[in-house]
Amino acid sequence: MLKTVQSLLLLGLALVSMASHAAITPTPKAPDVAAKSYILQDFASGEVIAALNAEQRLPPASITKLMTAYVVSHELASGNIALDDKVLISEKAWRMVGSRSFIEVNSKVTVEVLLRGMIIQSGNDAAVALAEHIAGSEDTFAQMMNQYAQQLGMLDTNYQNATGLPDAEHYTTAKDIAILSAAVIRDFPDHYAWYAEKEFTYNGITQHNRNKLLWRDKSVDGLKTGHTEEAGYCLAASAERSGMRLVSVVLGTRSENARAQEIQKLFNYGFRFFETHELYQVGQQVTESKVWKGTGNVVGIGLSEPMAVTVPRGRYKELVATTHIQQPVIAPITSGQVLGTIDIHLAGELVATQSLVALAPVTQGSWWRRLLDTLLLLIWG
C-alpha cells in the first residue's frame, strides 16, 4: 500500500489557488539560436531550460578533449598516474595536425603540463601523448573514453580518438556534452580551475584559450571549444551567477564569434528568467514512517543525494511536495534503503522527483514484537 502525503515544501511555501496562477506572467520563450543543436541546462537540478536538436548525433571536434581530460583526471584520482609523471613524447603525438602544444618528439613532459596544454591550448599532440601514456595506444584509450561515457549515461556518444579529429564513427550530442560538462565540474573541481585560464605558455610559446567568453563575461569559467570543417564552430561553457550555475552547449555555429554570442544569449536568458533552489540536503529528514516488527517504532526518511529544482523566476513559493511511502515499512531496514519517492509540483505539473531512503538502520525486533505486529497488520490491513 502506498501512503501519500502532500506537504508544504519548506517553511514559508504555500498552496496557490488556480486563480492566482492565471495572474502570473508567462515566461518568455528562449531566444533563437543560430546553431545546428544546442542545450541550456541547470547544473544543480539538471533541468533543461532550453534545447534544440539536443539528441542529434553530431561531430564534437575538440570538445572531445573534455572526455580525454575526464579520463586523465580519473587516472590521477585513482593513483595510476601523477601530475609530475614524465611522459615520453612519441613521433605520432609530435606529428599531430591541428591545434598543438608544440611538444618535441622524444622529449619528456609532465602530465600536468600536457593536461593544461590540452585544456587551455587544445593541443592535439598533448591529447595523444596522454592517451598513449595511460593506455598504451590512442585506440585503447578511446575504448576507455567510451566506457566512461556509458557510465555517465551518454547514450548517443561514440569516441574513436582522443582529439576530436574527424571520423565517421566519432560523434556525440549537445545533451551528452552537457552531461559530461557537469561531471567535469562536479567530480574534479580542482582540475576545473584550469578551464578558466586564459593563456598557457610552453616551450617559449604562449597561446590563448579560444573560449572568448572568458574575456567577455566574468561569470564564465569554462569549458571547451571545438572546430573542424565538418563540425563547424562548437562550444561547451559554464557560468555561475549569484550561486546559480548553468551549462550550455552549441554545436555547428558559423564562426568563433557566433559560438560565443549564441551561448551568451542562452546564459542571459537562463539567469534572467529562471532560478534554482536546493530543497533538501543529503541526510536531511523529509518525513518519517512507522516501522513494524523492529526494535524501533519509527524511521527517519530523507535523500541520498541533494535535491534542487529550477523554476521560472518568482514562482519558488508555489512549489508543493508530495511524499509516497510504500507501506507497511517492515524491519529489518538498512540505511539508504529506498522506501518511497518525493515529487515536486508547480501548478500541478511535476517538475522533479527523487527516491526517499531510510536515514538510519532499524534492526528486527524480538519474536514477541514480530508476532504482535503480524497480528496487528492482519487486523488493521
Concatenate the DSSP letters of all residues of 119-187 into one string.
Answer: HHH--HHHHHHHHHHHHSSHHHHHHHHHHHHHHHT-TT-B-S-SS----TT-BB-HHHHHHHHHHHHHH
Cβ-contact 40, 269 below 8 angstroms: yes
Rounded CA gap, 164 and 234, in Å?
Answer: 12
Cβ-contact 77, 47 below 8 angstroms: no
The active-site residue out of 122, 181, 248, 289 is 122
Q: Per residue in 91-111, pLDDT tens?
A: 999 998 888 788 889 999 999
Q: What number is the average pLDDT over the span 213-242?
A: 96
Q: How many Cβ atoms sit within 10 Å of the Cβ of residue 40? A: 27
Cβ-contact 184, 66 below 8 angstroms: yes
- For 294-313, b/e burial (b = at least 16 CB within 10 A) is beeeebbbbbbeebbbbbbe
pLDDT of residue 14: 37
Q: Return the residue matching grid coordinates 531512503.
A: 357
Cβ-contact 248, 16 below 8 angstroms: no
Quickly count helices (H) and strands (E) in the chain.
11, 18
Q: What number is the average pLDDT over the span 122-140?
A: 96
Q: How far is CA 154 from CA 145, 191, 328, in A?
A: 11, 21, 37
pLDDT of residue 17: 29
pLDDT reading at 180 higher than 70: yes
Q: Per residue in 277-305, pLDDT tens?
A: 999 999 999 999 999 999 989 999 999 99
Q: Per residue in 12-70, pLDDT tens?
A: 343 332 333 445 678 899 999 999 999 999 999 999 999 999 999 999 999 999 999 99
The active-site residue out of 45, 62, 99, 101 is 62
Domains recognised in the chain with CATH numbers: 2-20+281-380 (2.60.410.10), 37-274 (3.40.710.10)
Active site residue 62: yes
Rounded CA gap, 214 and 195, in Å?
Answer: 9
Rounded CA gap, 124 and 128, in Å?
Answer: 6
Active site residue 175: no
Q: Return the residue matching grid coordinates 580525454.
A: 68
The active-site residue out of 65, 212, 224, 265 is 65
- Cell numbers at 94, concatenated: 609530435
pLDDT of residue 11: 34
Q: Per residue in 326-368, pLDDT tens?
A: 999 999 999 999 999 999 999 999 999 999 999 999 999 898 8
Rounded CA gap, 280 and 344, in Å?
Answer: 12
Active site residue 73: no
